[in-house]
Amino acid sequence: MEQNLSQRAVFIFFIGLFCIAFLLAGKLIAPFFAIIILAIVSTGVFSPVFRFFSKKLPPKVASLVTCVLIFFLVFIPLVFFVGALSTEAFNLYSMAKDAVFSSQLKDLLESTQALERINILLAKAGIEKPITWDALIRPISEVGKIVGFSLFEQARFISSNVFNFMLYFALMLIVVFYMFMDGEKFIKYMYNLSPLPDEHDEKLFEKFMDMAGAVLIGNGLGGFIQGVAGGFLFLFLGLNSPFLWGVIMGFLAFLPIVGIGIVMIPTAAILMLKARLSAGIFVLVFYAVLSWGIEYIFKPKVVGDRVSMHPLIVFFAIIGGLKAYGILGIIYGPLIATLFLTLADIYFSSFQYMVEPGKVPKEY
């Protein structure tokens, strides 16, 4: 009895000490958490490239070549992207701030005389206070100002902190380099450290990597295609800031349900109000074909059925992720949702009967 108490006391002391060490280690890693997550996700995305090179080259050389490829495929385009985005975002902010956008839109809408008809109907319904275009356009102008300024500030922050940006990217590549070579050892170590059975650990890891691949490869490439296509469409139609709107559509493409329709549908409506009926119809057809092709042809072929998550969950995961973590929330949101849903699945299949003895274990 005394031996059991002594062993329990030693175990409790060890657990307390281990928790303290875990928290201290977490505090050390916290400043680099985003870098590590991005490195793990990048490792999963570029692992087929590493495996291809490793068939012909030693592991260290294959890992180095893959990291160099990541540098040229990601870092160089990103630098160009930030510079161009900064210029066009500032132009959008200036236009909204100086009320140029508001006056142009107001003149366009007043020419339709639609609001006069609406006010007549409201007056007949007993509503005497008329609606003005100023009241309706002001929120749109404010949104343009906020979006433009936010994008400009983000781009300006990166541009003015080029050294930090290069340092963080270099640190990410270092993590990727070692993950390619020693990733399997690290995963096995985490499996051994986890108190969960190995099949549960494997399920968590596989779901995490599948969702990371779906976000970066499926949504990322899909968003890139839609952003580029939307930007060229704006350029072809002679609309302002095609690069900026292409970037915005690229990010909006991550959102299911709404996607690039947030930009395309109002654009089509404005073109129709400007008596460019054929251009407006063309934008709507272009939007429908592009969105349908990406969602129902491109993504299923690239991602497959590895990740099945309700579009509404993905929508709120991305919106919540953006609010909580900024631009990286596009990645973090779906990953956190995947973690929760996978743990819920493990609970239903393996642990629910402990809490509710009458329940039969199920696979969801």
> Contacts from 196-200 at CB under 8 Å and sequence distance 24+?
196/346, 197/350, 200/346, 200/350
Residues 329, 314 contacting (CB under 8 angstroms):
no
Structure tokens at 355: 């809490």
Q: Note the pLDDT of residue 20.
A: 92
Q: Note the pLDDT of residue 100.
A: 47
Rounded to an integer, what distance in angstroms lies between the CA atom of residue 268 and that of residue 284? 6
Q: Note the pLDDT of residue 194.
A: 80
Please give the C-alpha separations between residue 52 and each of 58, 62, 216, 338, in angstroms, as whole numbers: 11, 8, 20, 29
**Residue spans of the chain under pLDDT 50:** 100
Query: pTM for this one?
Result: 0.67
Rounded to an integer, what distance in angstroms lies between the CA atom of residue 31 and that of residue 34? 8
Q: What is the per-residue pLDDT across 138-171, written as a single tens digit (0 to 9) for each?
A: 555 555 555 555 555 555 555 555 667 778 888 8
Ramachandran category for residue 99: left, alpha or beta (phi over 0 → left; psi -120 to 50 → alpha):
left
Q: Note the pLDDT of residue 74.
A: 81
Question: 11: burial class by Cβ within 10 Å (0-12, 13-18, 19+)?
Answer: exposed
Query: How open is the CA angle 260-265-267, to the nearest 5 degrees?
Result: 100
What single string gives the DSSP state of each residue in 34-92?
HHHHHHHHHHHHHHHHHHHHHTTS-HHHHHHHHHHHHIIIIIHHHHHHHHHHHHHHHHH
CB neighbourhood size of 80 (10 A): 9
Residues in the chain: 364
Q: What is the per-residue pLDDT across 178-224, written as a single tens digit (0 to 9) for each?
A: 888 888 888 888 888 888 787 888 888 877 777 776 777 777 788 88
DSSP element (H, E) containing 281: helix 277-293
Query: How open is the CA angle 40-330-101, to the nearest 5 degrees?
Result: 145
Q: Note the pLDDT of residue 85.
A: 61
Q: State the average pLDDT for the chain.
A: 75
Residues 314, 332 contacting (CB under 8 angstroms):
no
Please give the C-alpha separations between residue 47 and each of 44, 52, 174, in angstroms, as whole numbers: 5, 9, 15
